[in-house]
Amino acid sequence: MKKFNIRKVLDGLTAVSSSSSSATAQPGTPKENDTVQESLQSEHFQLCKTVRHGFPYKPYSMAFDPVQKILAIGTQTGALRLFGRAGVECYCQHESGATVIQLQFLINEGALVSALADDSIHLWNLRQKIPAILHSLKFNRERSTKTHPGPVVHISDNPMDEGKLLIGFECGVVVLWDLKSKKADYRYNYDEAIHSVAWHHEGKQFVCSHSDGTLTTWNVRAPAKPVQIITPHGKQPKDGKKPEPCKPILKVEYKTTRSGDPFMVLSGGLSYDTVGRRACLTVMHGKSTAVLEMDYHIVDFLTLCETPYPNDFQEPYAVVVLLEKDLVVIDLGQIGYPIFESPYPLSIHESPVTCCEYFADCPAELIPALYSVGSRQKRQGYSKKEWPISGGNWGQGTQSYPEIIITGHADGSIKFWDASALMLQVLYKLKTAKVFERARGKEEKPSTDKVDEDPFAIQALSWCPESRMLCVAGVSAHVNVYRFSKQEITTEVVQLLEVRMQPEFSEVDSPDPGGEHTPTFPTSGAPSSPQESEPSTQPSTGSNSSDGPRDNIPCLQVRSSPLKQSPGYQVELVIQLVWVSGEPPQQITSLAINSSYGIVVFGNSNGLAVVDYLQKTLLLNMGTSELYSPTEPYQRQPRSPRKARQPSGALCESNEGSNPSEDRCRSPTSGSTSPCNSDEERKQNFIEKVKVKSRRFSKTVASDFAKMSRKISLSSEPKSDQVAPTVQPRDRCQRWRSLKVKKNACYAKDKAVAGMTQKRALCRTKSDPNCYAKDNAFIRSRSSSVTSIDRESREAISSLYFCESFPRKLDTLVSPCLLVGTTQGSVMMMSLSVPPGGDQRLQQPVSIASCGTLARLKGGILTMGLLDATGTLLPPSYEPWYDPNASDEEKEKGRRRRPASPPSSQEGQDTQFAVLCSEKQAKVVAMPSQTRIYKHSITETSFVLRADVVQMAGANCIACFCANGHIKTLSLPSLRPLLDVNYLPLTDMRIARTFCFSNLGQALYLTSPSEIQRITYSQETCDNLQEMLSELFTPVETPEAPNRGFFKGLFGGGAQSLDREDLFGETTAGKASRSLAQHIPGPGSMEGMKGAASGVVGDLARARIALDERGQKLGELEERTAAMMASAESFSKHAHDMMLKYKDKKWYQL
């Protein structure tokens, strides 16, 4: 008897459960991808942040190291941003997230002290590439029983005597406190509140700024009254009275020079009659006063000086002004005080970012081309000096592939950024709003009601790096197509194409007096195409009268005057969706462009539109439900829209019993008249009338009508063997061709379409219902509740992908195709027939054929891709770039199309894999058999926000970002989970809108309105990150302190130092109370590292720390030894010289 082994049974159950939870193979089908060798493993993936670019969000404080030339900015969110030379920047974050209220560098020591609003102080170590906290002090607030003048606004020591402390109180009292004797030397009183205090470098005078816009100058030894009182922006009355009060002077700095008058820099203090004036910075130098207007509110400013010592002549050369949304550096050494040109990418938020795309490993010539045209856009009038914040060194990483980031903005602008080597620099800026007329007043904006604030905002973009073709979709339902050219041109008339995409169902509540006009609605059995419009150079005149609904009017008006287009991206075509019967056009949800085919395709909740941008014609305009087959098992019923919508203008409305137009009913493929008057056609028309009229009755009557219509539709459904004789057996698909038809008389009666000059209708032949691919693994449950939900939801186009594949099941030759994904999980295949290049391409039309549904997934489709038999990604074909304004010979060189790489397929053999990813799951479908090979459920409790098919370590994978914060990667084609990290939960829709993956393990998102956070999910990049990051601290010799001089040293003048350890140390002051503050070792300190280290890893870390310490001590010892040797050599030389001088002299000659 065979022994029963329970372990094998359990192992089998475990294998079954694991396969069902991860990638599962299609049962009953051979594993086609057994030959695909997948090289990607989980060891290739690791997630970490790399760099953060942009302007610090909500800045609050600032500090500068005058020796290291490093600038630090603290924010209200607890962040620290450190800046050096161009490309040197660093981001740090306090765990508490409290506001950084003050920053102070330990000059030339590679350390920074930060004071937070939660009563904590932190010491940062900047000598490492990723700064870390060495120590922290958490203070405990105590109630003071002593009398106190009020809040303290300023504390500083005397530049000449560190034992004297100047304390400024908000109430107007200033106290000079002696630290040694612990008592006040002098008290200075003024009637107005104090905002800031600044010392003169000699320590004999100080200046206070007050709430009434005055500046008071005080002598240290004359506390009775100020030496001078001035109101920089106050009007001086003639009768000698006190000048009128001004706004508070929030901060003042007093800087001296050796050879001229001192500089006094202040913010605020303007007179109250300057209402609405922008924030200003005032620079007073001698008798001149310059008022510099700023674009935003001034948060803080610092004066940069030549010396780091406060007791020497300061010699100011620049002012760093931290604004609410910008950083400005003013040159004090040139007339007019020009600003320096900033090398940092601080203009990301110049207009709010609305979309973002990331392209890694771009063609090498792209960045120089964009830089060459972008350099002409730079502003003039900058200071000719070099950027003064010049500390740090660049990283030494080996990452050399070009990276480009494209950001779309609310004002319609698009910026191209060079993101190579962990840096960010703006290359080129495109203003898409130039092609539209700008409304001068409110009365001229009737058609932008939908998007009053930002009518030009960028919603989506599609870019082909190889051909440099750019397609942009705006929030006003417009699409702009751009070509890249190095030559300037003037476009006399902007090419315009207006498209009428209307809802699939509409209603008419008011009958026509001359007879009831029943509109023809598209259905699954006999769909009709919505109306298309011809290209025009001027916008069509539509109905916009006060007594009728707005119709055939775009949201924006295209520019009518000639358009001068600079080198760079130049508009080729503008496509606009128009209003339909009082309803605004739906926003565009997906967009794609292909330079090899010369086609732009876009979709929204109303359907799909395909445009030939070479011939400037509309090829296809269809509702989403019409893309399905009549017998499609996945077809969604279109939603009935709300009332007041006019009927679709796809086909001419006709009276009951009247014969429809012969041109409208003629099939373009057969050449014979379609049976419009047959019994089946009458049944279909009756079904439509039932569906229309049933909406006007009660629910009970409507349900009865619906049952009757279903019975009729079932009886009239064509059988599978009834195929139109004109359709070839191998061409089993639906075809549409554009036919120009004359304007029907019935349209002349309708005001909503009176302005249309040309119309198109789309007809199609019958098709074999068995030609549509079915996902055998998908079993749809059809309960009444699900059906009702499906009917109420509107299916939109969510993803588009051009490829060269097998459009139909069991095809043997590849051809241009378009994959269309919807928000309800359907992926449909469309075949494209593109004429050959040259003149034929511009004369012959492009034909499009729908080949049914390829697959069905849970959730909306996010991304699609195509692999060959070896698992290599097959990118869409492209046309190499050529300058459209160059000579004909150069154009012909560039117009050679990239050869199609996918090979032909033999009978019964799959040579391609279609990769499909939705909000819930991913599937891999073998082509051309259209068999599902692999399926993986990405998430059950959440949904995927962004997914991309990316190249990584010489292979391909799917990268996903879920709403619950998880970042996942799946191998291809087997869909094995490779990475699953809980990184960032979705807290802001900005993250969902801007998160994007790129090749080679790179990704980014907008972490704040003004900052881009770049991350990597590549193990190789994480390992090399330390080398790639820039260094903040560089060894620099500290300048010599100013000489005291003989007489100052003799009579006690000059700077006097104070040993704070003697004053505040434990030997003198005793141990501090434990209730005063709590010491917290930071992760960057020895205590923190020892506490975090454990086991073998901890021993290795401690050994490494000990070696580092020993090496550092040996280095210091070596430096000291060298210094002692140099000193000894110098002493020996001086002794030898002295001996030679007095060698032959007698004692009385000395």
Q: What's the pLDDT tens digit per position in 473-490?
A: 999 999 999 999 999 999
- Which segment, 284-298, 384-398, 759-773, 881-895, is predicted with the most confidence on average? 284-298
Q: What's the pLDDT tens digit per position in 1020-1052?
A: 999 999 999 999 999 999 998 887 655 555 455
Two tokens, residue 1014 = 């770049």
DSSP symbols for 677-734: TSHHHHHHHHHHHHHHHGGGS-HHHHHHHHHHHHHHHHHTPPPTT---TTS-TT--SE
Residues 94, 114 contacting (CB under 8 angstroms): yes
pLDDT at 850 over 50: yes
Q: Compute the distance between CA of residue 822 and CA of residue 856 in angstroms, rounded to an integer.
A: 10
For every residue of 1025-1058, which 3-state class applies, written as one string? HHHHCCECCCCCCCCCCCCCCHHHHHCCCCCECC
pLDDT of residue 479: 97
| Residue/partner pairs of 264-269 with CB below 8 Å, 24 or more apart | 264/207, 264/215, 265/301, 265/303, 265/316, 265/319, 266/209, 266/215, 266/232, 267/298, 267/301, 268/209, 268/213, 268/298, 269/209, 269/213, 269/231, 269/232, 269/233
Q: Compute the distance between CA of residue 602 and CA of residue 459 in angstroms, rounded to an integer.
A: 12
Place of tokens 């829209």: 641
pLDDT of residue 1065: 65
* 3-state SS, residue 763: strand
Name the residue with higher pLDDT: 166 or 769: 166
How many angstroms separate the Cα of 336 from the Cα of each of 251, 333, 850?
22, 9, 67
Neighbours of 602 (CB within 10 A): 26
Q: Compute the distance between CA of residue 1005 and CA of residue 991 in angstroms, rounded to an integer.
A: 6
pLDDT at 279 over 70: yes
Neighbours of 109 (CB within 10 A): 15
pLDDT of residue 1148: 57
- Which segment, 504-518, 555-569, 656-670, 782-796, is predicted with the most confidence on average? 555-569
Two tokens, residue 980 = 């699953």
CA 789 to chain centre: 34
pLDDT at 191 over 80: yes
Name the residue with higher pLDDT: 883 or 276: 883
Residues 6+ apart with CB under 8 A from 488: 564, 565, 566, 567
Q: Where are the extended beta strands (E) located within 955-1076?
A: 955-962, 966-971, 977-982, 996-998, 1002-1008, 1011-1018
pLDDT of residue 633: 58
Count Cβ neighbours within 10 Å for each residue of 724-739 and write b for 16 or more, e otherwise: eeebeeebbbbbbbbe
* 3-state SS, residue 21: helix
pLDDT at 214 over 60: yes
Q: What's the pLDDT tens digit per position in 82-115?
A: 999 999 999 999 999 999 999 999 999 999 999 9
Q: Is the dihedral of CA 735, 736, 737, 742 positive or negative?
A: positive
Q: Which of 217-221, 446-450, 548-552, 944-948 has the lowest mean pLDDT?
A: 446-450
Q: What's the pLDDT tens digit per position in 143-167?
A: 766 677 889 999 999 999 888 999 9
Name the residue with higher pLDDT: 778 or 834: 834
When pLDDT is cut at 50, 70 and 90, the band that residue 888 belongs to is: low
What is this structure's pTM? 0.78
When pLDDT is cut at 50, 70 and 90, the band that residue 1139 belongs to is: confident
Q: Which residue from 603, 643, 594 is spatially nearest to 626, judged by alpha carbons?
A: 603
Q: Compute the distance between CA of residue 942 and CA of residue 143 in angstroms, rounded to an integer.
A: 50
When pLDDT is cut at 50, 70 and 90, the band that residue 2 belongs to is: very low
Rounded to an integer, the average pLDDT of 289-297 is 94
Q: Which residue from 723, 518, 501, 810 is spatially nearest to 626, judged by alpha carbons?
A: 501
pLDDT at 672 over 80: no
Q: Which of 442-446, 556-560, 578-582, 768-772 has the lowest mean pLDDT?
A: 768-772
What is the residue-averaged pLDDT of the chain? 78
pLDDT of residue 701: 35
Q: What's the pLDDT tens digit per position in 1090-1128?
A: 444 444 455 555 566 666 666 667 777 777 788 888 888
pLDDT at 714 over 90: no
Q: What's the pLDDT tens digit per position in 400-422?
A: 799 999 999 999 999 999 999 89
pLDDT at 301 over 90: yes
Q: Compute the distance between CA of residue 459 and CA of residue 436 in angstroms, rounded to an integer.
A: 17
The radius of gyration of the chain's CA atoms, rounded to the nearest angstrom, is 38
pLDDT at 579 over 50: yes
* 3-state SS, residue 458: strand
When pLDDT is cut at 50, 70 and 90, the band that residue 1056 belongs to is: low
pLDDT of residue 1137: 80
When pLDDT is cut at 50, 70 and 90, the band that residue 654 belongs to is: very low
- At residue 238's C-alpha, the angle toward residues 236 and 244, to 5°, is 35
pLDDT at 517 over 80: no
Task: Give percent of the chain with pLDDT exceeding 70.
Answer: 69
When pLDDT is cut at 50, 70 and 90, the band that residue 791 belongs to is: very low
Rounded to an integer, the average pLDDT of 454-458 is 94
When pLDDT is cut at 50, 70 and 90, the band that residue 440 belongs to is: low
pLDDT of residue 378: 82
pLDDT at 432 over 50: yes
Q: Which of 454-458, 693-697, 804-808 has the lowest mean pLDDT?
A: 693-697
pLDDT at 913 over 50: yes
Q: Compute the distance between CA of residue 1146 and CA of residue 1117 in angstroms, rounded to an integer.
A: 44
pLDDT of residue 1102: 58
pLDDT of residue 1150: 56
When pLDDT is cut at 50, 70 and 90, the band that residue 509 belongs to is: very low
- Which segment, 346-355, 1117-1126, 1139-1148, is predicted with the most confidence on average? 346-355
Q: Compute the distance between CA of residue 627 and CA of residue 606 in angstroms, rounded to an integer.
A: 12
pLDDT at 492 over 50: yes
pLDDT at 839 over 60: yes
